[in-house]
């Protein structure tokens, strides 16, 4: 391991500290202004403060995500060890996903509602999958239906729980294609996707996208861009 690798965990820790302290202070003052009644603010001033507080809260959330990434990479935190059924967990999440609802973009679950027993971290898995759902749904112009299909399959000779997130009618094609790296650099999601991948891999799982078949540089393939596939080997502890 090189010196740059050794420097990575403390660099992330330092960055988190240096960002978190001023962001928390600014957020605190903005919340105080929101409650301050003397002298009364104009509606325009209040809207500006409200938007500034939202942006500051988002910055604090990104810093927290960066902290989690650094801790997972350095081994400073470990994933919880809880018995769970991944398919049942998805069933609980589906009604809570509202990304894209303003454009009539819907998420529909299909496949078995149970039968994917794992041992792992329920809270972090829930957050990871929520980030992936949001990444796919937020880019759909609408109206559209995105299917999250659950399957029990065998990959590399092992039984696996599989989740295929793709446009309605494209699920099988997305799953049948060769695998490509899932694009984590999607705007508006902070560090949710890099963090999600680490959580999935920490459970022995894998996250990928279908390989693009457009054959044209810089020409997006809607199935490749608009799909995500997760798999977890069954019976493997995090």
pLDDT of residue 13: 81
Among 108, 65, 68, 106, smallest CA distance to 90 is for 108
- Give the CATH number of domain 82-233; options: 3.40.190.10, 3.40.50.150, 3.30.565.10, 3.40.50.11540: 3.30.565.10
Mean pLDDT by 10 residues, the chain (238 residues): 59 82 88 82 89 90 91 89 94 85 92 94 95 92 92 92 95 95 88 95 95 75 93 74
∠ CA 153-205-150, nearest 5°, is: 40
Q: What is the pLDDT of residues 168-207, one digit of tens each?
A: 999 999 999 999 999 998 878 889 999 999 999 999 999 9
pLDDT of residue 218: 64
Measured CA to CA in angstroms, residue 79 lies from 68, 75, 139, 201 at distances of 11, 10, 30, 11
The tokens describing 126, both together, are: 């829930």
pLDDT of residue 1: 44
Per the CB < 8 A criterion, the answer to whether 99 and 105 are in contact is: yes
For the chain, give every domain's residue range: 3-74, 82-233
pLDDT of residue 216: 67
DSSP labels for 45-89? Answer: HHHHHHHHHHHHHHHHHHHHHHHHHHHHHHTSS----EEEEHHHH
Q: How many residues make up the chain in this entry?
A: 238
| pTM score, whole prediction | 0.84
């Amino acid at each position: 391991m090189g010196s740059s690798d050794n420097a990575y965990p403390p660099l992330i820790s330092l960055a988190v500290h240096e960002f978190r302290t001023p962001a928390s202070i600014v957020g605190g003052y903005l919340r105080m202004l929101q409650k301050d009644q003397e002298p009364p603010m104009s509606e325009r001033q209040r809207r500006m403060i409200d938007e500034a507080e939202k942006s500051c809260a988002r910055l604090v959330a990104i810093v927290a995500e960066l902290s989690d990434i650094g801790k997972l990479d350095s081994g400073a935190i470990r994933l919880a060890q809880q018995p769970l059924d991944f398919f049942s967990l998805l069933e609980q999440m589906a009604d809570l996903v509202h990304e894209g609802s303003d454009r009539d973009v819907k998420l529909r679950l299909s496949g078995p509602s149970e039968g994917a027993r794992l041992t792992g971290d329920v809270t972090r898995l829930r957050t990871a999958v929520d980030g992936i759902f949001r990444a796919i749904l937020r880019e759909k112009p609408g109206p559209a239906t995105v299917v999250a299909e659950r399957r029990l399959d065998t990959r590399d000779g092992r039984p696996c729980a599989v989740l295929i997130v793709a446009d309605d009618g494209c699920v099988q094609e997305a799953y049948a294609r060769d695998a490509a790296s899932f694009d984590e650099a999607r705007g508006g999601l902070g560090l949710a996707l890099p963090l999600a991948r680490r959580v999935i891999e920490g459970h022995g799982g894998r996250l990928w996208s279908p390989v693009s078949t457009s054959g044209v540089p810089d020409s997006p393939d809607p199935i490749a861009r608009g799909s995500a596939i997760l798999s977890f080997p069954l019976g493997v502890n995090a």
